[in-house]
Amino acid sequence: MLKFYACLIWTLSLGLDVLSQGDMVVPTPSRVVQSKGVHVLPDMLQINDENLPEYSKDVLKQWVTKELKKNLLFNAAGNDITFQRLQNVPADSYTIDILNGIKISYSSDASCFYALQTLFQLVDREAGTVANCFVSDQPKFAWRGMHLDVSRHFYTVDEIKRYLDLMAHYKFNTFHWHLTDDQGWRIEIRKYPKLTQIGSVRAQSLVGHASNNPEVFDGVKEEGYYSQNDIREIVAYANKRYINVVPEIEMPGHASAAIAAYPELNCLDTTVKVVEKWGVFEDVFCTKPQTMQFLKDVLEEVCQLFPSEYIHIGGDEVPKAHWEKCGNCQKTMADHRLKNTHELQSYFIREMDVFLTSRGKKLIGWDEILEGGLSENATVMSWRGTSGGIEAAKKEHFVVMSPTSHCYFDHYQGESAKEPLAIGGYLPLEKVFHFNPIPDALEPYQANYILGAQANLWTEYIANVKHLDYMIFPRLLALSEVVWSTNKCDYEQFIVKLENKQLPFLDEKGVNYSTTHRRTKTEVVEKNGQIKIVAKASNPNWTVEISSKGKPSMAGTGSSFYDLKPTNFPMKELYRVETKDGETVVGVDTVVINNQPFLGKKWTISPEPSEHYSGKGAVSLTDGIIGSRPWNGKEWLGFQTDTITFTYDYGQDGRHNTIELNLLEASSSWIYLPKKIRCTYYKANGKKRGSVEIQAYAERIGFVQKKAKYAKVEIQVIMDDKIPAGQPGEGQKPWFFISEIITLP
Ligand code: TNX
C-alpha cells in the first residue's frame, strides 16, 4: 500500500504518468535522460567482455544468474552489454547508454563497478526489461566513508564482509575500522601477543545507559579479535570492491585494553583491567621512550597489513591527569622543551607522524590533534562539530568531515522513548540527507581540502548485527546522496526512492532497516502565542486524529492539529494521535503535555542557545514538553557559555510562588548542571526586590518566593569553566541544557 501511495505522490508532484527506474537510483546520478520505450533483456545475455575488468565480470555474472535469473555468455561479438574504457574523463566517472542494448563507458576499474551497481538498480527484474535512458555520473567526494567500532562490541569477519557489500552497492569507498579502545584490543600484533590474549577479553559489560545509577553489569564475557590472516582477508575483500580500509589504532587515550595486557605502558604503577563500562578513562599511553617504541612496533605491523595510505591514530579524548603526575612524562616535556601537556600530546602525535611518513603513509586523527599544534602531514577528522575541520582546512591540511551533529549513526533517529536505547542525541534521516560537508566559512580554494565525509558507528549500545542494521539503514543511503551525488534529489523524492525501490532491495538482502521515517510526525508548535499539537502523516492520504481523555477532537487527511489552552495550575495531560489508512490503524502516538499558566509565554534568553541545540527557540521552555532521557536534541536548548540569563517581564506587578527549571545532567555528552543559579526579582520601578542563590543539585530545581509581588524576574545560570579531569570532554567548557521552565501560582 505504502508503495502505491508513494508512487502517487511522485506522479502527482511531477505531473508524470510513468515512473521510471532511472528516477529510483540511490545515490542520484549526475544526469539521467529518460527516453521512450524499454529494452527487453533476452534469456541469454551476450556480453562483450573485451574491456570488462575481472572483478566486474564476476559481479555481473553473479547478478545475471542469481538476481536476474537469466543466463549469459561472454564473447567478443556480444552486444547486449558492451564496455569501453575512456581516457581523459573525470576520475571514477561512467556513462550508461541504453537503446537496443547497453553500452557502458568508464574511466577506471572502480567506475565500471559503480556503473554496474547503477545498472542493477535500473533493471526491472520482474519484467526483464530496462527503460531506454542515458546516465552519466561521477562522485562528488573522494572520501566516502563508513566507520565501525569493533572494540565496544565485536563483529565477525562475515558480518564485516556483509557490511562492505552493502557499502559498495551504495558507492562508498572507505571503511574506517576502529580496532582498539578501552574495552577491547581486536587486532593481532605478532610482537605483542598479550594484546589479544588479554586485551581482547572483557569480563562483562555495562547494562543500560552509562548515566544510570547504580551501575549494573551483565556478567557475560565479550571477546574476539582478528588474526592477521582475518585482517588480510577483509582488506582483500574490501579492496576488490574498491573500498580502502583505514585502520585505527587509538593513542594516546582510549588505551586501557593495551595497558591491561602490558601494564608497563602506563604512567603509573597500577594494574588496569579491560574496561567494562563506557566513557573516557585516565589510563593513557605514557610518553616514555619504551611506550613510544611499542606503539611504533605496533604501527610497523599495521603498515604492513594495510595497503591504505592513511593510518588513523585516534588522538581523541586524552585525559592529562597521569601525564601531569608522571616523572617520565615530565622528563619528556623537559627534554623537548614542551610548555604543557597539550604540547606533550602534540609531540606524541608528531612522533607518530614522522614514523608513518617514513613508512610512506599518511597520519589521520580526530580533531583533538589540533590542540597544542597540528603535526606537519596530518589529516584531521572533524567530529566535535565542523570547527576543527574548518581550522585545519584554513591551515591547508586535508579534512574528513564527521561531525556528531550529522554523522553519528549511534545517535537516536526518532524520539528516544520509541527507539531502542542509544547513547543520546537526535539524528533523523532527513538531517543526514541535508548534510553539507563543505562549511560556508571556507573559501572555495580551502574547500578543496575537504576530502569528504563519513558516518561513525560507535557500538557501546549496539551489541548485534540486527541492531547495527537498524542504526545504519536507511541513514547510510541518505549519506550516499551527500558524499556521492553531484545532483542530489530533494528529500521527498528520496523517500519515494526508498519506499519504491531501495527498502524492498534491503528486504531481499535481509537488512533490518529502521522505518522511523514512516512515523507520523507529531510536534508541539507555537503560532501567534497559541500552542498546538500538529500531527503530519508520512503519507498524505492517511487520516490523523488527535484525542484527549478518549474524546476525539480532530480528524484530518494527511494531518491534524489540536489547540492547547494554558491552565491555571500545573497539569499533565495525555493526547493520543492515531493514523489510519482507511479503516486500518497504521500508527498510534502519544504526547504528554505538562500544562501551566505560562504555557506558550516567552522568556527572554541571553545569549541565544547554540545553533545545534536551539529547539524551537524561547517557546521550547514553555511548550509543555519535558525533555526525555537519554536526551534527544530537539527537546532541549543547549548553551556552552559561562552564564545564561532567562528573564520574564510581567510589565506590571505579577507574581508566582514557585519557578521550576527542568535541566539535564549527562556527563557522557559533556552536559552538566550549573555551578549555581541566581534568581533576582525586580519591582515595577526597576529596583531590585530581592535575590536567592542556590546550588543546582538535581535536574528538577525550583525557587520559592512567597507573598512578595514583583514585576520582573531574572534567572542567571552560572557554569563551571571546565569539565573535570577523567570525564569525557575533560578540560572543555561544559554544556548547559534546559527543557522547560514551569511557573506555579
Ligand atoms: C566519542 S568520536 C568518542 C567515542 C565514543 C563516541 C560515542 C570520538 C573520536 N570519540 O569514543 O564511542 O563519542 O558517540
Closest of 395, 401, 402 to residue 378, by C-alpha: 395
Can you tell me the distance from the alpha carbon of 460 to that of 205, in angstroms, rounded to the nearest whole number?
9
Can you tell me the distance from the alpha carbon of 301 to that of 726, in angstroms, rounded to the nearest whole number?
31
Tell me if 408 CB under 6 Å of ligand 1: yes
- Enclosing H/E stretch for 295: helix 289-305
pLDDT at 707: 62
Give the mean model confidence (pLDDT) for residues 629-656. 86
pLDDT at 744: 81
pLDDT at 21: 77
**Which of 411, 456, 460, 723 gets mutated to test ligand 1 (max ligand atoms within 8 A of its CB)?**
456
User: Mind listing the pLDDT tens digit for each residue in 679-705?
Assistant: 998 988 889 988 899 988 899 998 887
Comparison of pLDDT for 487 and 633, the residue scoring more: 487
* Residue length of the chain: 745
154-160, long-range: CB < 8 A, 24+ apart: 154/184, 154/186, 154/222, 154/223, 154/224, 154/225, 155/459, 155/465, 155/468, 156/224, 157/226, 157/230, 157/233, 157/234, 159/465, 159/468, 160/234
pLDDT at 9: 41
pLDDT category of residue 213 using cuts at 50, 70 and 90: confident
Per DSSP, the residues of 400-456 read: EE--HHHHBTTS-SS-GGGS---SS----HHHHHT--SS-TTS-HHHHTTEEEEEEB
pLDDT at 416: 86
**Which of 246, 248, 280, 316 gets mutated to test ligand 1 (max ligand atoms within 8 A of its CB)?**
316
- Asked if 181 is an active-site residue, the reply is yes
Tell me if 368 CB under 6 Å of ligand 1: no
Tell me the pLDDT of the chain averaged across its residues.
93
Residue 15: pLDDT over 60: no
Can you tell me the distance from the alpha carbon of 475 to that of 709, in angstroms, rounded to the nearest whole number?
53
User: Mind listing the pLDDT tens digit for each residue in 463-513?
Assistant: 999 999 999 999 999 999 999 999 999 998 999 999 999 999 999 999 999
- Asked if 317 is an active-site residue, the reply is yes
Can you tell me the distance from the alpha carbon of 385 to that of 403, in angstroms, rounded to the nearest whole number?
4
- Asked if 283 is an active-site residue, the reply is no
Tell me if 367 CB under 6 Å of ligand 1: no
User: Mind listing the pLDDT tens digit for each residue in 592-621?
Assistant: 999 999 999 999 999 999 988 999 999 999
**Which of 148, 275, 317, 730 gets mutated to test ligand 1 (max ligand atoms within 8 A of its CB)?**
317
Ligand 1 atom 12, closest CA: 458
Give the mean model confidence (pLDDT) for residues 205-222. 93
Radius of gyration of the chain (CA): 29
Distances (CA, A) of 170 to 54, 125, 173, 308, 744: 20, 19, 9, 21, 54
Residue 727: pLDDT over 90: no
User: Mind listing the pLDDT tens digit for each residue in 119-173?
Assistant: 999 999 999 999 999 999 999 999 999 999 999 999 999 999 999 999 999 999 9
User: Mind listing the pLDDT tens digit for each residue in 643-663?
Assistant: 999 999 887 777 677 899 999
Tell me if 423 CB under 6 Å of ligand 1: yes
Atom index in ligand 1 nearest the CA of residue 384 equals 2
Tell me if 458 CB under 6 Å of ligand 1: yes
Residue 316: pLDDT over 90: yes
Can you tell me the distance from the alpha carbon of 106 to that of 659, in angstroms, rounded to the nearest whole number?
67
Atom index in ligand 1 nearest the CA of residue 381 equals 9
Can you tell me the distance from the alpha carbon of 356 to that of 505, in angstroms, rounded to the nearest whole number?
41
Which has the minimum average pLDDT: 441-445, 446-450, 480-484, 726-730?
Answer: 726-730
Give the mean model confidence (pLDDT) for residues 83-89. 95
Place of cell 526518532: 414
Kindly name the residue from 254, 312, 411, 656 that is annotated as catalytic: 254
Residue 14: pLDDT over 70: no
Q: Treating both helix axes as pointing N-terminal to C-terminal, what angle do 289-305 and 228-240 enclose, rounded to 10 degrees?
A: 50
Residue 72: pLDDT over 50: yes
Comparison of pLDDT for 16 and 203, the residue scoring more: 203
pLDDT at 270: 86
Tell me if 316 CB under 6 Å of ligand 1: yes
Comparison of pLDDT for 377 and 2, the residue scoring more: 377
pLDDT at 708: 65
Give the mean model confidence (pLDDT) for residues 524-552. 91
pLDDT at 12: 38
Closest of 310, 373, 389, 363 to residue 340, by C-alpha: 373
Residue 186: pLDDT over 90: yes
Which has the minimum average pLDDT: 222-226, 236-240, 416-420, 654-658?
Answer: 654-658
Cα 538 from chain centroid (whole Å): 23
Close Cβ partners of 732 (under 8 Å, ≥ 6 residues apart): 670, 722, 723
pLDDT at 711: 86
Tell me if 639 CB under 6 Å of ligand 1: no
3-state helix, strand, coil in the chain (%, to 5): 30, 30, 40
pLDDT category of residue 3 using cuts at 50, 70 and 90: very low
Can you tell me the distance from the alpha carbon of 85 to that of 77, in angstroms, rounded to the nearest whole number?
17
- Enclosing H/E stretch for 605: strand 604-606
pLDDT category of residue 13 using cuts at 50, 70 and 90: very low
Indicate the SS3 state at residue 738.
strand
Query: At residue 347, what are phi and psi to the nearest 5 degrees?
Result: -60, -45
Close Cβ partners of 214 (under 8 Å, ≥ 6 residues apart): none
Q: Report cis status (omega within 30 of 0) of the bond before 734.
A: no
pLDDT at 120: 97
Give the mean model confidence (pLDDT) for residues 212-216. 89
Contact 362, 311 (CB under 8 A): yes
Contact 176, 146 (CB under 8 A): yes
Contact 409, 475 (CB under 8 A): yes
Comparison of pLDDT for 23 and 444, the residue scoring more: 444
Instruction: Evaluate the CA torsion angle 606, 611, 613, 616 in order and state its sign.
Output: positive
Instruction: Walk me through the domains of the chain, giving residue ranges and CATH numbers.
Output: 31-137 (3.30.379.10), 143-471 (3.20.20.80), 519-594 (2.60.40.10), 604-744 (2.60.120.1190)
Can you tell me the distance from the alpha carbon of 594 to that of 615, in angstroms, rounded to the nearest whole number?
17
Indicate the SS3 state at residue 575.
strand
Number of Cβ within 10 Å of residue 117's Cβ equals 17
Contact 34, 22 (CB under 8 A): yes
pLDDT category of residue 540 using cuts at 50, 70 and 90: confident
User: Mind listing the pLDDT tens digit for each residue in 566-596?
Assistant: 998 889 999 999 999 999 998 899 999 999 9
Distances (CA, A) of 93 to 136, 168, 607: 8, 16, 48
Atom index in ligand 1 nearest the CA of residue 181 equals 11
pLDDT category of residue 19 using cuts at 50, 70 and 90: low
Contact 634, 615 (CB under 8 A): yes
